[in-house]
Amino acid sequence: MKELAITRFTQIYGHAPAVLARAPGRIEFIGNHTDYNGGTVLGAAIDLGVWVAAAPAPAGLLHFATESQRGIVTVPVSAAGKQVGAQRWVNYPLGVWTSFREFGWRQPDGLEYLVCSDLPVGAGLSSSAAIELASALAYLGLTGGNPAREEIVKLGRHAENNFVGVPCGILDQGVSGFGRKNHLVFIDCRGPRFETVPMPAGAHFWVFNTHTKHALIDGLYAARHRECMEAARGLGVALLADLTPAQLEQKRALLPEVNYRRAKHVIEEIDRVARVQVALASGDLASVGRLLTASHRSSQTQFENSTPELDFLVETLSETPHVYGARLTGGGFGGAVMAFTDAEFSASGAAQVADAYAFRFGSRPDVLHCETGDGAARVDF
């Protein structure tokens, strides 16, 4: 991807880029919709990601191109507002550019930009956060800024919340920013505080991308966010992370049934994150797997952000040898399922699961055997 980014940038703009940056996609290991509720999450940066090549341009114009679409989208600095239609993808790098000013950082006065990716879009692997972090690092390479990694992560989230319009928490940007090979990333989202946790030897991630709808901005994600905030207000707390499962049950009568179920998922999910940490520390991967599958069951029945396709994959994987557990990964409402397996689970086993899915739904999911990877960084070339 490095050479492709340099070559395509040169073909489009007539000269080599000045800077190159890369940010990985991420797997949400456990902690579904807990981040914006002030909870805890575990995720892993993977070895697939987004590459951004950039160079300065004459002041006043921002030029954006992508390997996946023809042409250049030119946005005047004087009218750098939200894009619509086929140009919507520009809102991610443009939102980052806009956020530089809001964070008091120097913006590139003019910009030539190209993004390339080997990360499947819509698979719940957070291509959006990867674009945001790679863009931020590329812009900093042009302007000479050097903020702390925590601030870059916060800026990426700010861009997605306030420019793109998705009320996400810090999970996606945090894992992409702080990823480390052979490690998980733990985030206490209230801080936020970031740590890395060693991955047990012999554990593997397999991702099954259903290609079903995964568009967080279409309102479903925002609706769950709203229901969680309503539940917190109804329970008399600032955030759902302020309550334990037992305390929620004591206050159940304060909430409408829907908001109670949303709160139940989030509060119990935070508890599952803590139990997974304990199980990982002791090497009890069977318990980790059971907690991952329990997380999916809660998404299915309490948070209602699963789909029949995702449920089928989890059911099938749960009955497959060498699979510790499985759950949807990402915001839900389509996308992908992550399977946590031992080293004996193979491509042939994954193919059998994909065959069963194809027999049931008429199309095959893409299967990715993901390795952990390092976090976002500028790349020398």
Residue 377 falls within a domain, yes or no?
no
Final residue belonging to a domain, choices 178, 198, 218: 198
Final residue belonging to a domain, choices 144, 174, 198: 198
Each residue's pLDDT tens digit, 24-74: 999 999 999 999 999 999 999 999 999 999 999 999 999 999 988 889 999
Given the residues 172, 188, 311, 366, the one annotated as active site: 172
Give the least confident one: 164-168, 213-217, 315-319.
213-217
* Residues 164 and 59 both lie in one domain: yes
Instruction: Determine the Cα–Cα distance for residues 272 and 345; give it in Å rounded to an integer.
Output: 25
* DSSP result, 308-333: HHHHHHHHHHHTSTTEEEEEEESS-S
pTM confidence score: 0.90
Instruction: Determine the Cα–Cα distance for residues 122 and 25; give it in Å rounded to an integer.
Output: 11
CATH number at residue 143: 3.30.230.10
| Helix residue ranges per DSSP H, the chain | 2-13, 91-102, 127-143, 149-159, 171-178, 220-235, 245-250, 257-281, 285-298, 308-318, 347-361
* Residues 115 and 247 both lie in one domain: no
* Residues 25 and 138 both lie in one domain: yes
pLDDT value at position 167?
Answer: 82
Range of the structural domain that residue 18 is part of: 2-198
* Residues 26 and 145 both lie in one domain: yes
Q: SS3 of 179, please?
A: coil
* Residues 72 and 140 both lie in one domain: yes
Residue 49 falls within a domain, yes or no?
yes
As a whole-number percent, the residues of the chain with pLDDT over 90 amount to 84
Does 261 score more than 70 pLDDT?
yes
Q: SS3 of 186, please?
A: strand
Is 284 marked active-site?
no
Supply the mean pLDDT for the chain.
Answer: 94
Q: In Å, what is the CA distance from 139 to each residue of 21, 22, 88?
A: 9, 12, 20
Residue 380 falls within a domain, yes or no?
no
| Tokens describing residue 26 | 């991420």
pLDDT value at position 214?
Answer: 53
* Residues 172 and 210 both lie in one domain: no
CATH number at residue 239: 3.30.70.890
Is the CB of residue 130 less than 8 Å from the CB of residue 174?
no
Please state the separation of Cα 84 from the chain's center in Å. Answer: 22
What domain count does the chain have?
2
Final residue belonging to a domain, choices 141, 173, 198: 198
Residue 378 falls within a domain, yes or no?
no
* Residues 214 and 128 both lie in one domain: no
Identify the bridge partners of residue 119 per DSSP, sorted by sequence position: none
* Residues 182 and 327 both lie in one domain: no
* Residues 241 and 141 both lie in one domain: no
